[in-house]
Amino acid sequence: MAKTAIVILNWNQKKDTAECLRSLGSLSDAAQIILVDNGSTDGSPGELEKEFPRVKLLRNGENLGFAEGNNIGIRTALNQGAEYIMLLNNDTTVEKDFLDRLLQAMKADDSIGIASPKIMFYQDRNKLWFAGGGYYPLIGKPYHYYYGQTDSGQIKDVKTVDWVSGCCLLVKREVFERIGLLDKDYFNNYEDVDFCARARRAGYKIVVVPQAKIYHKFAAAMGGKFSPFYTYFRVRNNLLFFKKSSRRLPLVLNFIIFPAYSLIASLKHGDWASVRATFAAVLDFLRGNYGLGSAKSFQKQ
């Protein structure tokens, strides 16, 4: 098997991370697993190191976010000569052959730079969470194909897509060497869409391999889909993505539409903290306050 490294980020989530590592099982014989702890305060790094002594543990002194936290692991993997590097969310479990399936697809087509498995909901393993991503016409907002649908074989063969989720993606070494690592301005959310956009501009194909399958709990580290912490990054980084890609019309349209959508969703759930997070996200975008930004005030340890 090709020399592969799997980078997993942990932040105060021993239970989820341990379940993920256990599901990888014998993969530790075929791939180096790099666990990056993002400044956890719950004692999980030491406990995980004890339970999984074959996993390489890297400790960050603070929460560097998804982007830079993973970059720490990516740099380590590159320095150690990895040919393929996978980013895998700690709130996932995997099928035992998923890595083999991804590598087979990538090795069969040299133009593929990034590959993703089919990602199912952890709580309902017959429903699709992610099977590739596209962009809505005109507004340009990213979306998931077949989100929430029961898996009935919508994708049967390897499929070229616009982008894939940072929940799980396998990347050729040369892609990082050519376009760089994840953009830490995003901190959390949209760094995967940005990375894929840069890879496509560099001429790489991005695919979903439906024969490879994992299961995802979704946004566990950020408190769930409608948490203020997640809301902040979803709103600010949606705008930041279009600014960085110099797409003026989508930026204007999203500036008008997306914060309003976020406010309506937050009010629907009676979550005033998420309402405040939406306003903070827009203000930080206008001020150029990126990275963690004002999300620190919505962050739960």
Q: Which residues pair with 92 in a beta bridge?
A: 216
Q: Does domain 4-221 have CATH number 3.40.50.2000?
A: no
Query: What is the phi/psi pair of residue 26, to 5°?
Result: -70, -5
Q: How many CB atoms lie within 10 A of CB 301?
A: 9
Angle, alpha carbons 252-256-259 (nearest 5°): 120
Give the span between the Cα atoms of 278 and 242, in whole angstroms.
17
Q: Which residues contact 117 (CB under 8 A, 6 or more apart)?
A: 94, 98, 101, 102, 168, 208, 209, 212, 213, 214
Give the span between the Cα atoms of 109 and 207, in whole angstroms.
11
Number of alpha helices (DSSP H) and beta strands (DSSP E) in the chain: 9, 12
CA distances from 186 to 14, 65, 295 (A): 25, 8, 12
Give the span between the Cα atoms of 241 and 141, in whole angstroms.
10
Give the span between the Cα atoms of 133 and 143, in whole angstroms.
6
pLDDT of residue 270: 84
pLDDT tens, position by position, 196-215: 999 999 999 999 999 999 99
pLDDT of residue 219: 59
Residue 297, CB half-sphere, CA atoms under 13 Å: how many? 12
Among residues 141, 108, 148, 106, which one has the least CA distance to residue 124? 148
Reduced to 3 states, what is the DSSP secondary structure of residue 115?
strand
Collect the ranges in the chain with pLDDT lower than 50: 1, 301
Domain boundaries, the chain: 4-221, 224-298
Give the span between the Cα atoms of 193 and 278, in whole angstroms.
20
Beta strand 84-88 with 56-60 is unpaired
pLDDT of residue 1: 46
Please state whether 300 falls in left (phi above 0), alpha (psi between -120 and 50) or beta. beta
